[in-house]
Amino acid sequence: MAAARATLPLPRVPAPSPRPQLRPFPSLPARRGAVACGAGSAAGVAASLRLGDVIEAQQFDRAALTEIFEVAREMEALERGSSSRGAGRSRVLEGYLMATLFYEPSTRTRLSFEAAMRRLGGEVLTTENAREFSSAAKGETLEDTIRTVEGYSDIIVLRHFESGAARRAAATADIPVINAGDGPGQHPTQALLDVYTIEREIGTLDGIKLGLVGDLANGRTVRSLAYLIAKYQNIKIYFVSPDVVKMKDDIKEYLTSQGVEWEESSDLLEVASKCDVIYQTRIQKERFGERIDLYEAARGKYIVDKKVLDVLPKHAVIMHPLPRLDEITIDVDSDPRAAYFRQAKNGLYIRMALLKLLLVGR
């Protein structure tokens, strides 16, 4: 049944107006394979994904990224054109319904997905803090929630506190599932908008030097970005973090296997002087549990401030997935190299592109 279902068109709620014929996104790997593979293996990851799910950054190849970014630029032009002329919203996704299930707090990801859906004429069902204010509080399993919600919607955007939750949801649902962050696991749509931002700001992706700073052990954004940027040539990555939150070995081993040069450093100023992109992240207090002493030891060790700006190349940019605490000082905001709010806006265009590609195709 599983193998057959992977080859059939996804069911859709009838729309009041004709839609383009649904086609699979050709560059994404199939969700299910004829043979079940272990969840810990690369083959298992590839076999567990379905056309139309966005679960992890490494599922995309360069051809897929190119297509997504082309559509994102189209969405940017569409959104800017509608805003400047006061025109009505697009009707590309009219008749489609997106469900956002967020078991963890979110501002940018949830709102940008909902804005993206509405900008394209679709509708939204949403739940915020589903961990507390949904049937999960009564003990309902994620799988039962997904089976229920897919009966109401055409696509599910899921944020969950457990790594691997998005893969479980995709294995359950017969409609597309988008991973909007699963605990300390991955955040693939953030990685997509990050790479898109780098291309827009720097003008190229091949040959860049990227400094990843802050909480690299718990930061799903930096993990996903490392997977995605490895698709490009002549990349060098610098890891700058307190000892307690260093980048984990699985990412280092992956980068090495892909021929990506990486280096660990304790000197942010030296790294900043060499980089095209400094990608700062906050120390994630919520991942430390009761070990507040470890959190306090890590917090505030690496801060992007005027000293960093003084050594940063003129063409370089500073990025941050947000929210920030004190790891980027406010006086950095006025520097043209501070790209983090432009980065956040790019999330709208990337998510508009993904929704369009997953629901109606190019």
> Which residues belong to the active site?
108-109, 138, 159, 187
Q: Is the N-terminal amide bond of 323 cis, ω within 30° of 0? A: yes
The phi, psi pair for 222, rounded to 5°, reads: -70, -30
CA 317/CA 144 separation, integer angstroms: 44
CA 199/CA 339 separation, integer angstroms: 12
Q: Is 217 helix (H, G, I), strand (E, B) or coil?
A: coil
The phi, psi pair for 183, rounded to 5°, reads: 55, -135
Both tokens of 10, joined, read: 């996804």
CA 226/CA 188 separation, integer angstroms: 11
CA angle 287, 289, 294 (to 5 degrees): 80
In Å, the largest CA–CA distance within the chain is 60
CA 170/CA 66 separation, integer angstroms: 24
> Could you tell me which of 271, 187, 191 has the C-alpha nearest to residue 231?
191
> Could you tell me which of 322, 6, 48, 34 has the C-alpha nearest to residue 164?
48
Q: Is 100 helix (H, G, I), strand (E, B) or coil?
A: strand
